[in-house]
Amino acid sequence: MESGPLAGHVALVTGGGTGIGLGCAEALLADGAAVLLAARNLDRLDEAAAGLRSNFDDATVATVACDVTDESSVAAAVRTASELGPLKIVVVNAGFGAAAPFHRTSLDDWSAVMATNLTGAFLTMRESVEPMVAAGGGSMVAVSSIAGVETHRFMTPYTVSKAGLEMLVKQVADELGPSGIRANAVRPGLVPTDATAGMMSIPAIVEDYHAQMPLGREGTTEDIANLVRFLAGPESSWITGTCISADGGHHLRRGPNIDPVMEMLHPGDTAP
Q: Catalytic residue positions? A: 158
Nearest to 38 by CA among 17, 54, 56, 10: 17
Question: Kindly report the CA angle at 239 between 139 and 213, in degrees rounded to 5?
Answer: 100
Q: 27 by DSSP, 3-state: which? A: helix
**Other beta carbons within 10 Å of 60:** 16
**Other beta carbons within 10 Å of 54:** 9
Query: What are the residues facing 37 on neighbouring strands?
Result: 13, 63
Is residue 142 within 8 A of residue 184, CB to CB? The reply is yes
In the chain, the amino acid numbered 91 is V
Give Cα 262 distance to the centre of its chain.
25
